[in-house]
Structure 1
Amino acid sequence: MAEFILVPGAWLGAWAWDDVARELRAAGHGAHPLTLSGLADKQGVPAGQATHVRDIVQEADRLGLPEVVLVGHSYAGIPVGQAAALLGDRLAHVVFVDSNVPVDGESFASCWWQGQAAFEAVLAENDGWWPPPGAAGVDGQGLGSEQMARFTGGATPHPGETLTGPAELTRPLGDLSATYVKCLLDGDEPMDDVAEALKSESWRLVEMDTGHWPMFSQPRELARILHASVRG
């Protein structure tokens, strides 16, 4: 069975993976949700983009496992993709869940759909933080009222320096053994950078008929996909 390091996206902590982790453990896997620096129970810890990459690599070191599966949701696909390239033979597989992927020299902000200047203006207006969305910001993403309340109640501001720092790739993404999970309520097609990576024979695309936060809306189905990703 596999050992999964589960990395949440913007605003979230390890707690966001509770339901998925429970399903994975019931199937016999190891599940290790990780809070990135500056978020949730690690608020107050200084963090930049390189910090989040280091968080993931250090968690793999701490666990001392011969092989791990990295799972990155949303923003976390950027540090997860970089960390995956650094783990060498310890990486069994990587799963990107409706996520960004790292582009060498580019940041989350530089790839923002409204442009980098617009995104950095939001950070400037909030003292260098990306504020979490309210209920209106997650509407239409397949979340029930309880799931929405759980999300908005647990989300914390995201440290802006992690979003503006450039990614550094030491290995082409196409060389990784990877699964990309596309959540269809958040758009029918993967982003251009993802579509390019999916041209690799070692990448596989899986679609979910749900919104951007499947760990809340469809945790059992997401756990099934993670299980299948390592079963071939």
Structure 2
Amino acid sequence: MRACGLADKRGVPAGQATHVQDIVAEVERRGLRDVVLVGHSYSGIPVGQAAERIGDRLARVVFVDSSVPTDGESFVSAWPDGGAAVKASIAESGGFWPRAPAAHYDGQGLTDEQIARLVRGATPHPGATLTEPDDAEPDDDVAELLTSKRWQLVKMDTGHWPMFSQPRELARILLNAAEE
């Protein structure tokens, strides 16, 4: 399945609800069952919210170095400065978080070619998705899952972009999650 919400809506001032609806709509449009949703970085927030909405179609959710939705908190609220620098950057850039420069990816275990690919394919990120509070608290069933033994933590010795720095290892982890 494809990624939803950013590249296909380049320049659209979207909020989290847009990204959640993109995911839910794609699952429904394709009539998918036993869905494994994967959220990387910010996308853990809309993936976590979409998981509840697709209900019995969901098999598993995988968060890859990502945020997990927390009621009333924004993506950047847990950052050291409470997201002040990101919020300022968004305000200066017409409501979008600008694309990161190549130097941003240093120390992530990426080759120069991989960094160039990331920079080339990046799009400005709609600012509201990073600064607006997450949706309502998960219902009791989802909250129970978050604290259950069904959660499994898998650590990788890599940076924030394992799909580039360790694609085979990440693919193995995702396949294992899909088969469990």
Tell me the TM-score normalised to structure 1 length. 0.72
Higher strand proportion: 1
Pairing partner for 1:227 from 163, 175, 178:
175
Q: Return 5+ residue gaps in structure 1 as ranges.
A: 1-31, 177-196
- Give 1:50 shift: 0.9
- Give 1:56 shift: 0.8
Q: Quick check: 1:69–1:95 contact (8 Å CA) kept in 2?
A: yes
**Equivalent in the alignment of 2:16:** 49
Extract structure 1 runs of 4+ deviating beyond 3 A: 172-176
Instruction: Please give the alpha-carbon distance, in whole angstroms, between the structure 1 residues aligned to 2:162 and 2:49.
Output: 23
Q: Return 5+ residue gaps in structure 2 as ranges.
A: none
Percent identity over paired residues: 63
Q: Quick check: 1:112–1:119 contact (8 Å CA) kept in 2?
A: no
- Give 1:220 shift: 1.4
- Give 1:92 shift: 0.4
Kindly indicate whether residue 74 of structure 2 is the aligned counterpart of residue 104 of structure 1: no
Kindly indicate whether residue 16 of structure 2 is the aligned counterpart of residue 35 of structure 1: no
Pairing partner for 1:131 from 74, 88, 98:
98
SS across alignment from 1:204: coil
Kindly indicate whether residue 165 of structure 2 is the aligned counterpart of residue 217 of structure 1: yes
Pairing partner for 1:89 from 32, 40, 56:
56
**Equivalent in the alignment of 1:10:** none
- Give 1:117 shift: 2.9
Pairing partner for 2:139 from 171, 174, 188:
171
Letter in 2 for 1:115: G
- Give 1:118 shift: 3.1
Kindly indicate whether residue 124 of structure 2 is the aligned counterpart of residue 157 of structure 1: yes
Relative to 1, partners in 2 of residues 1:46 and 1:121: Cα closer, same or farther, differing over 3 Å?
closer
Instruction: Please give the alpha-carbon distance, in whole angstroms, between the structure 2 residues aligned to 1:222 and 1:84.
Output: 21
SS across alignment from 2:116: helix
Q: Quick check: 1:70–1:94 contact (8 Å CA) kept in 2?
A: yes
- Give 1:137 shift: 0.5
Letter in 1 for 2:139: R
What's the C-alpha RMSD, in Å, of the aligned pairs? 1.6
Letter in 1 for 2:113: E
Give the paired residue count.
Answer: 178
Q: Quick check: 1:129–1:160 contact (8 Å CA) kept in 2?
A: yes
Letter in 1 for 2:164: F
- Give 1:174 shift: 4.2
More displaced, 116-125 or 61-70?
116-125
Instruction: Please give the alpha-carbon distance, in whole angstroms, between the structure 2 residues aligned to 1:138 and 1:166.
Output: 27
SS across alignment from 2:66: coil
**Equivalent in the alignment of 2:43:** 76
Q: Could you report, residue by residue, the CA deviation over 1:2-22 in whole angstroms, capped at 9, with x for unpaired residues?
A: xxxxxxxxxxxxxxxxxxxxx
Q: Quick check: 1:131–1:158 contact (8 Å CA) kept in 2?
A: yes
Letter in 2 for 1:171: D
Instruction: Please give the alpha-carbon distance, in whole angstroms, between the structure 2 residues aligned to 1:35 and 1:63.
Output: 14
Instruction: Please give the alpha-carbon distance, in whole angstroms, between the structure 1 residues aligned to 2:24 and 2:107.
Output: 34
